[in-house]
Amino acid sequence: MLQWSSSFALLACLPAVFAKTYSDPSQVPTTKKYDYVVIGAGAGGATVAARLSENSGVNVLLIEAGISHQGIASVEIPFLDSSNAPNTYLDWNYTTTPQTSLNNRVIQYPRGKLLGGSTSINFMGYNRGSQNFWDRIARVTGDKGWSWSSLQPYFKKLERLTPPADHHNTNGQINPSAHGTSGPLGFSLPGYTLPIDSRIIGTTKELPSQFPFSLDQNAGTQIGWGWTQSTIVDGSRESSATAYLDPNANRGNLDIVLNAQATKLIQTGSQGGVPTFLGVQFAQSASSPRFAVNATKEVIVSAGAVGSPHLLMLSGIGPASQLQSHGIKPIVNAPGVGQNLQDHALLSNFWSVNSTGTFTIDDIIRNSSLFNDLMSDWQKDKMGMFVVGNPNQLGWERVPSNAPIFRSTQDPSSGPLSPHIEYLPFNGWISFVNPMPSSGNYLTIFTAVVAPAARGSITLTSSDPFTYPNINPNLLGSEFDRYAMRYAINATRAFTAASAWKGWILGEAGDLANAHTDAELDAYAAANTATIFHPTGTVSMQYTGGNGVLNSDLTVKGVNGLRVVDLSVLPYIPEAHPQGAVYVLAERVSDLIKASHH
Ligand SMILES: Cc1cc2nc3c(=O)[nH]c(=O)nc-3n(C[C@H](O)[C@H](O)[C@H](O)COP(=O)(O)OP(=O)(O)OC[C@H]3O[C@@H](n4cnc5c(N)ncnc54)[C@H](O)[C@@H]3O)c2cc1C
Ligand SMILES: *[C@@H]1O[C@H](CO)[C@@H](O)[C@H](O)[C@H]1NC(C)=O
Ligand SMILES: *[C@@H]1O[C@H](CO)[C@@H](O)[C@H](O)[C@H]1NC(C)=O
Ligand SMILES: *[C@@H]1O[C@H](CO)[C@@H](O)[C@H](O)[C@H]1NC(C)=O
Ligand SMILES: *[C@@H]1O[C@H](CO)[C@@H](O)[C@H](O)[C@H]1NC(C)=O
Ligand SMILES: *[C@@H]1O[C@H](CO)[C@@H](O)[C@H](O)[C@H]1NC(C)=O
């Protein structure tokens, strides 16, 4: 796995210049002069650490609470992605507060705790967000650098379009000219044909006015159904760790410490009354000793949409009265820290299907001999069904502009090129809420509200860094969100009524079969909805009418030395799978950081 092992023999006679990976906080040389200390090795942190350390004249320390990503089969093999969380050794194991709009259910809230962060355990769907999405970010932050057209060079810089694992001809499945071909982050089209692929494409031909085919969902317009682009290269997962850290393991100026949780940002001075935060305290566990290190230029917080607001509040940067009520002395009153949490509500809808002459994931899960056959296919040459970890197609749709909901509610989406809802079709029973039945074959279509109006929050429960905060994503917490979910459920009925499904779909399964009126659809959604794991916005940039915490270059307002670079910085949730948004913002901000310390 170690990328540098082949060049090691060549360089063995030179003094050690390789990046050091410390497995324990006590090993970090805390008196070493680090220019930058980056906290969290997920989509944001790994990208920034790799870009900043391109300059061999600066030293970078990357602090990660979790373990290494290397040598873990379920992390590498796309099909096993759903076994990585919740409640495993790769997960923080967060849970939400009781969700008022979901019958007060508590929802599991996984976040990756390893190099690569959540990109090492996610489902690998790769989206950029639409043109309207980025143009709204530019507009509300007053920074043209965030516009779709300004970010195009950064998308191309970070992307590497690769052939699918089965090397099929991808003509008509993507617009290659919209993409980068030589960046660190590899991605590809689906590498294995599933029995439902032709039925889905057939439905787009049969019902094009509601479900049009879309050649490329990452080329500015995000409406319609098309082939999924995934962070998968040659049949294996690509994460921020495999893309940005492994290839740079030969850098002597990038140190990484594992099993090290940042417990506090420390004020190291002040300039003209503005506090400077260049110190970072970290520890392996609640009972182990604390260590500290100072950066000379900047501390970059990339602990994710849960970890970053939590760490800021523990450090005295947050809503003053909330901090005081937990015995934390406020240094900077920043009322927006932890507020503005948005997420995508997700519902699994099931149909039972004809088992004659077909197979579904249900067969693989129930038949260990079939499972082992497919595993050997993957082990032999990274081919076969295990190269697939998410749907081969994704669908995106807008709630029609003449829908009654818009008489009473403003459109929460960023514009006509952005969807309100997403469909994810699976060749089998897939759910985070409803256990798989012991018999039968199924089709699942996830419906997700990707332009929610609801907002929730992350608040402190304690001043102890090892006690988790309250996480309230407020799923389906607005009238628009519930309407959009009802609309989406109805739309799956129109979709599956296409003749492309005849003779295969036998009928609706689970609670869906009994949900028809709006009241029944609401009750069905409340009982079965959870999350698609996209928390966003809890340390957001300043935006019109909002309590923004950051300047548009992601520096923290009212503080010197501190930046936040992860999904918490966006004032609106992408109407898309969000990892692409984090990569591109980390790429742009890496250049801003380099420019401000040249
Ligand atoms: C199960 C699952 C499936 C998903 N599927 C998809 C998908 O298909 N497509 C998609 O685009 N997105 C998906 N996502 C979301 C996507 O992975 C995240 O939005 C993205 O990784 C966020 O990047 P980030 O840098 O903000 O945070 P993360 O990638 O979560 O990284 C944060 C890092 O900081 C570390 N950390 C946290 N606190 C501390 C601390 N105090 N000290 C040190 N380190 C700390 C964490 O351990 C982690 O490594 C999924 C997420 C999950 C959990
Ligand atoms: C999450 O739960 C798993 C299974 O119980 C456990 O092994 C792991 O240590 C937990 N992770 C954390 C961060 O507590
Ligand atoms: C960090 O800087 C502060 C303030 O200058 C100083 O008190 C502290 O000793 C430094 N810590 C380390 C580990 O160098
Ligand atoms: C299980 O899968 C094997 C192929 O690996 C197949 O031969 C067998 O018939 C399957 N068993 C059942 C009960 O479907
Ligand atoms: C969904 O369909 C039902 C039954 O046709 C209808 O009564 C309801 O108004 C529809 N809801 C939405 C939001 O479209
Ligand atoms: C199931 O599929 C088989 C084979 O295509 C077909 O003969 C049969 O009629 C189907 N059953 C139903 C109930 O549609």
Catalytic status, residue 534: yes
| Ligand 2 residue neighbourhood (C-beta within 6 Å) | 87-89, 91-93, 113
Ligand 1 centroid to Cα of residue 482, in Å, is: 26
Among the atoms of ligand 2, which is closest to the Cα of residue 88? 3
pLDDT attached to residue 8: 34
Q: Which helix (H) or strand (E) holds 136?
A: helix 131-141
Q: Is the peptide bond before 437 cis (omega within 30 degrees of 0)?
A: no
Ligand 4 centroid to Cα of residue 375, in Å, is: 14
**Looking at ligand 3, which residue's alpha carbon is closest to its atom 6?**
268
pLDDT attached to residue 358: 85
pLDDT attached to residue 18: 60
The pLDDT tens digits of the residues spanning 297-353 come to 999 999 999 999 999 999 999 999 999 999 999 999 999 999 999 999 999 999 999
Phi, psi of 432 (to 5 degrees): -100, 0
pLDDT attached to residue 125: 98
State the average pLDDT for the chain.
96
Question: % helix / strand / coil in the chain, to the nearest 5?
Answer: 30, 25, 45
> Is 50 exceeded by the pLDDT of residue 7?
no
The pLDDT tens digits of the residues spanning 233-281 come to 999 999 999 999 999 999 999 999 999 999 999 999 999 999 999 999 9
CB 132 within 8 A of CB 418: yes
Q: Beta partners for 265?
A: 280
> What's the rounded Cα separation, in Å, for the pair 539 and 549?
6
Which is the catalytic residue, given 420, 534, 597, 598?
534
| Ligand 5 residue neighbourhood (C-beta within 6 Å) | 483, 486-487, 490, 516-518
Ligand 1 centroid to Cα of residue 257, in Å, is: 18
**Looking at ligand 5, which residue's alpha carbon is closest to its atom 9?**
518
Q: Which residue has the tokens 């957001």?
A: 540
> Is 90 exceeded by the pLDDT of residue 220?
yes
Q: What is the pTM of this model?
A: 0.96
> Is 60 exceeded by the pLDDT of residue 16?
no
Is the C-beta atom of 503 inside 6 A of ligand 6? yes
> What's the rounded Cα separation, in Å, for the pair 124 and 118?
10
Catalytic status, residue 577: yes
> Is 60 exceeded by the pLDDT of residue 4?
no
pLDDT attached to residue 357: 82
The pLDDT tens digits of the residues spanning 548-571 come to 999 999 999 999 999 999 999 999
pLDDT attached to residue 598: 79
For residue 488, give the ligand nearest its CA.
5
Give the percent of the chain with pLDDT over 90: 95
pLDDT attached to residue 545: 87
Ligand 5 centroid to Cα of residue 494, in Å, is: 12
> Is 80 exceeded by the pLDDT of residue 14?
no
> What's the rounded Cα separation, in Å, for the pair 379 and 387?
11
> Is 50 exceeded by the pLDDT of residue 6?
no
> What's the rounded Cα separation, in Å, for the pair 51 and 583?
11
pLDDT attached to residue 147: 98
What's the rounded mean pLDDT across residues 497-521? 98
Task: Give me the numbers of helices (H) and strands (E) for the chain, helices first please.
Answer: 15, 25
The pLDDT tens digits of the residues spanning 355-393 come to 988 889 999 999 999 999 999 999 999 999 999 999 999
The pLDDT tens digits of the residues spanning 455-503 come to 999 999 999 999 999 999 999 999 999 999 999 999 999 999 999 999 9
